[in-house]
Structure 1
Amino acid sequence: MNIKNYLLTIASIAFIGSSASAQIVYKKEKNDSTDSKSYSLSIGKVDEEDKDSIKKEISYPRSYGGITFTRVDWGFSRLSDGGSFTLSEENQFMSYKRSSNFGFDIAQYGIRFSDQFKVYLSAGFEWNYWRLKQNIQLLENTSPIDYVELDESANYSKNVITSTYLRLPLSFELRSKQLENGKRVKLAFGAMTGILLKGTQRLKSDANGKQKFKDNYNLQSFQYGPFVRIGYDNLGLFAKYYMNDLFEKSPEQEGLRNLTFGLTLGF
């Protein structure tokens, strides 16, 4: 699948979600205790019946969707090797000093079945970063995955492997009734899938300066696994576990999988 197909996938979801009428909706809210007013802007058909300012009766089920920017995940990546966080000898080349995970959704389409339950499909992007301990360089266009050791005299200060995925999660979300302050407790779970866009390795050394290499590096072309989010109002915690291997067509890396967790905003 090429970049054109990825963009068409996102555009299709956005088109369906907006019901062919990507309208800009302004909502005015009024606080009962003050006379202050606030406005919010959304593109497409929005799911905002939980606002106190909306008094009309709502019928279910109802659909919503469109272009968005939400569910911003920022946290850590941990590699699990056969169920252990200690990497085996075959996978020591992926030992890392620090690791992180970052992602967000840009389009969504869903159906709300009741005030407390909805289902939605969204599309976005996700990145994983591993700052490696060892001075190695992954070989391009090589299967199974392989690498060479770099010259220590070059004095490498940076060695980062990055995976970039188009993510397509299917979510089931439950929420409590409105609390006294108008906010809610939320729980979402479902299946997180991803299509590989690219792999990148960035190097920095005194001898060679900054270097950047792009290849798929045998990273899993299609990843999948369960996820869960729990939060209060717009802030929460997330955890995702990818059930297939980090690398494909690499028998020695069988069982090397990615676990991510951290904070989510816009939940």
Structure 2
Amino acid sequence: MRLFFSCLFLVSFFNVFSQEETTIAAETKPVVKIDSLYREDQFYFSLIYNSIMKSPGMAQDRFSAGLSLGVLRDMPINKARTFAVATGLGLSYKNYYQNLAITGTKDAPEYNVVSYNDISTNKFYSYLVDVPIEFRWRNSTPESYKFWRIYGGLKLSYVLQSKSVFKGLVDQNVKIVNNKDVNRFQYGAYISTGYNTWNLYACYSLNSLFKSSARTPTEQVDIRTLSMGLIFYIL
């Protein structure tokens, strides 16, 4: 009988000790604070293909690449923070391989659509400062940084520098920096959609790369562009 009561006492002691340990462990468990007022402020980086649109007689024979990077400030407009507007600042590089030969000088440029049989190298590229303004939808939550998104808006750009390079097959090598006919202010409509970091991106220019003063012997040089590729968002 004495042995029975001794065992009962030990079982009760260990049971109380175990409960105390569980209580202490529960009390010392770290509390994760959830920020219900979170913002989706982001850095972005894009890799794109530049396609020339609305340009009779012009063609592209090589991959015309571009890239951009920048930062966006997120401003939610509903309580669930699934809708927002955002704006920011970025830099872009755009390159176009095509058959519009630009010769002459930057103050008196000449334009001619030529055959690729007469071209060794012909490209036009520019460096720009971008100000994107966009409307956002996403199904994000305070607990997760992985979500679906659709962003769209306007991109306002200023050309910091432009350069064209034309090399013909017969002793022609013309380089023009900051052509006076290049539209310094450019703007376009864009959309991006995807999940988490990886997203599809497209942007269509709403004004021409060149001013109305840029003309071939037969018509105005009215070049619109469509940029398509991938954009990566990093929190």
Q: TM-score, normalised by structure 2?
A: 0.67
Distance 1:142 1:213, change over 3 A: closer
Q: CA deviation at 1:131?
A: 1.5
CA RMSD of aligned residues (A): 3.6
Measured against aligned partners, the alpha-carbon deviations of 1:104-135 in whole angstroms (never above 9, x if no partner) come to 2334333234432222211111222111346x
1:58 to 30, 35, 38: 35
Q: CA deviation at 1:237?
A: 0.4
5+ long unaligned stretches in structure 1: 1-52, 82-86
Residue number in structure 2 paired with 1:263? 230
Q: Which has the higher contact order (CA 8 A, sep 6+)?
A: 2
Residue number in structure 1 paired with 2:220? 253
Q: CA deviation at 1:207?
A: 7.7
Q: Distance in 2 between matches of 1:225 and 1:127?
A: 15
1:139 to 97, 104, 111: 104
Q: CA deviation at 1:73?
A: 1.7
Q: Which amino acid aligns with 2:84?
A: K
Distance 1:175 1:55, change over 3 A: farther
Overall identity of the aligned pairs, in %: 21
Moved more, 239-248 or 70-79: 70-79
Q: TM-score, normalised by structure 1?
A: 0.60
Is 1:78 the equivalent of 2:43?
Answer: no
Task: Say which SS state the counterpart of residue 134 (structure 2) adopts.
Answer: strand
Contact 2:182 2:210 in 1 (8 A): yes
Q: Which amino acid aligns with 1:172?
A: F
| Runs of 4+, deviation exceeding 4 Å | 62-65, 203-212
Measured against aligned partners, the alpha-carbon deviations of 1:213-257 in whole angstroms (never above 9, x if no partner) come to 312351221111211000110001011111112211336336531
Q: Which has the larger radius of gyration?
A: 2
Alignment of 1:111-190 (within 5 A): 111-113=75-77, 114-133=80-99, 136-142=101-107, 146-147=110-111, 157-177=120-140, 183-190=146-153
Contact 1:103 1:124 in 2 (8 A): no
Q: Distance in 1 between matches of 2:172 and 2:111?
A: 20
2:155 to 192, 216, 219: 192
Residue number in structure 2 paired with 1:233? 196
Task: Say which SS state the counterpart of residue 211 (structure 2) adopts.
Answer: coil
Q: Distance in 1 between matches of 2:65 and 2:133?
A: 19
